[in-house]
A and B are shown apart, each in its own frame.
Chain A
Amino acid sequence: MNKTHDNRAWLFVLPVVALVAFNAIIPLMTVVNYSVQETFGDNVFFWAGVMWFEQVLQSERFQDALLRQLTFTFTILLIEVPLGVAIALTMPKKGPWVPVCLVLMALPLLIPWNVVGAMWNIFALPDIGLLGRSLNALGFDYNFTRQPGDAWFTLILMDVWHWTSLVVLLAYAGLVSIPDAYYQAAKIDGAKPFAVFRYIQLPKMKRVLTIAVLLRFMDSFMIYTELSVLTGGGPGNSTTLLSIDLVKIALGQFDLGPAAAMSLIYFLIILLLSWVFYTLMMRNEQQ
């Protein structure tokens, strides 16, 4: 669309900028402020320079949490994106079942996150949960509160349960926008199902899938509530991802300096990776 150049459009954006700035800039500056200072209590602060940043970046604890975070993020992306696309492809395109499917699939997205955690906790408990009890009855030695491997399995299963629907709904939206004529043309050309997927369905889904990957990527980095209710980062530190570690330091130990430095590093990692995704996405849209 040809956009008119007019700087008065700023007036329309002003309320949004004012509200978001109030919520974003003041807290962010607070964090920056803490990250370069040292305190010995009594609200007396000293300039500390980049001490906290060096300390956080060099600490094994942070590196481990970051590694776990990246493992988690890429595992769930590798499961949720292909699974979501596969489910969207097999869904009916029209008919009375479409709204029923959509409503049922969207349901996990609207459950408060701590309820998701609590629900999975009681679902997976080895003695009274359906999942835990069934797995043990099948001969697996399953206990997610004791064994790190089981905790990871439960965490990933929970995230797949919670968020695959987002990918399904996005991919489905891309699919239903393909006109029937495309499929008819493919049929006349004698295209195999895989060719239809590769040359018709996938290109049409590309845009929405980029949104899906971007949203899942950002949100998986922010996972906190479900995880803290489900495992609390345990057993040991085996499921302590970045956000859990951060809250432990900031609100648990009240180590403001290291917590602030860690917040900024954490935020910058998300920002950098998201910027890469965003630039790629916008380049695709302009083509």
Chain B
Amino acid sequence: MTRTSRYVPVLYILFLMLPIYWLVNMSFKTTNEILGEFTLFPREFTLENYVTIFTDPTWYMGYVNSITYVAINTVISVLVALPAAYAFSRYRFLGDKHLFFWLLTNRMAPPAVFALPFFQLYSAVGLFDTPLAVALAHTLFNIPLAVWILEGFMSGVPKELDETAYVDGHSFWSFFLKIFVPTIAAGIGVAAFFCFMFSWVELLLAKTLTSVDAKPIAATMTRTASTSGYELGLLAAAGTLTIIPGAFVIYFVRNYIAKGFALGRV
């Protein structure tokens, strides 16, 4: 490796950090300073924006709602994807390939296409404005992804493992839960990470399916930007806080991240 090429990742990370720095920087400024002068550091350092968010329930409930539906979605997606991925990795059955592609097509469906029908569907079944509605709607793209990732990891486990377990007298479920699931624990972690990620960042459906009680934090931000004028400091503080859960989750899966992004298919 040449000397100059070593700086490429450094420069790239610097480029990634600049807009984030600007957001964090702005979150510690007063509105006057943001609009009045151009400063690289907050001149009058203020925590007021954060205080507002943590004391006003319309703000902090946004975080609670977001985390609730993301958690429900991750659990549902991974639980139903586990047996399905096992079936795809171990068995051939009628229509398996078509079914797999059909699942993947749902990963390709633009949320903009489904926004209006989803609103009608979830209103009709009485789930509108609940975290469960958003969690179920997000399974549309998270289940296919979880099946895809888990299938990749499971295909990496030799079939001899299954056969040995049956010879040893394990029943299917005892083998699946006690031996197989621990073997692919890394894959489950990666799948859960991806479900968390896509549910956390998606907003169009989350916004369409909620109005007051289950409004996600990101939607609360849009409202503030449009109704109460230009409270940029508050917006920046809320934005900064949405980065934290993501950073926290990446830290836990940092060792699996590279393999996980390859969906177990390297």
Contacts and interface: CB of A to CB of B under 8 A. Distances in A.
A246 B15 CA distance: 32
A147 to B, nearest CB: 20
Contacts of A24: 106, 109, 140
B114 interface: yes
Interface in A1-28: 1-10, 12-13, 15-17, 19-20, 22-24, 26-28
Most buried by A among B9, B99, B257: B9
A70 interface: no
B22 A122 contact: yes
Interface residues of B, number: 99
Nearest to A123: B19
Given A20-B103, A222-B110, A3 B92 contact: yes
Contacts of A48: none
A118 B235 contact: yes
Main secondary structure of the interface of B (DSSP, over half): helix
A30 B204 contact: no
A23 B137 contact: yes
Main secondary structure of the interface of A (DSSP, over half): helix
Given A27-B117, A27-B118, A104-B13, A270 B108 contact: yes
Interface stretch (B49-57, B178-186, B217-225): B217-225
B189 interface: no
B121 interface: yes
A89 B2 CA distance: 12
Contacts of B155: 1
Nearest to B17: A104
A130 B242 CA distance: 21
A112 interface: yes
A247 interface: yes
Nearest to B40: A130
A166 interface: yes
Given A107-B246, A123-B19, A114 B111 contact: no
Contacts of B266: 173-174, 177, 207-208
Contacts of A129: 22
A57 to B, nearest CB: 17
A19 B139 contact: yes
A110 interface: yes
B84 A16 contact: yes
Contact of A122 (B23, B90, B217): B23
Contacts of B251: 103
B87 interface: yes
A271 B105 contact: yes
Nearest to A279: B101
B259 interface: yes
Nearest to B225: A118
Contacts of A1: 89-90, 155, 158-159
B136 interface: yes
B100 to A, nearest CB: 9
Given A101-B13, A211-B263, A247-B112, A7 B93 contact: yes
10 contacts: A1-B155, A12-B83, A19-B139, A24-B109, A26-B117, A110-B197, A113-B201, A113-B218, A173-B258, A263-B113
Interface of B: 1, 5-6, 8-9, 12-13, 15-20, 22-23, 26, 34-35, 38, 40, 76, 80-81, 83-84, 86-94, 96, 99, 101, 103-118, 120-121, 136-137, 139-140, 143-144, 147, 155, 158-159, 197, 200-204, 217-219, 221-222, 225, 232, 235-236, 239, 242-243, 245-247, 249-251, 254-255, 257-259, 261-263, 265-266
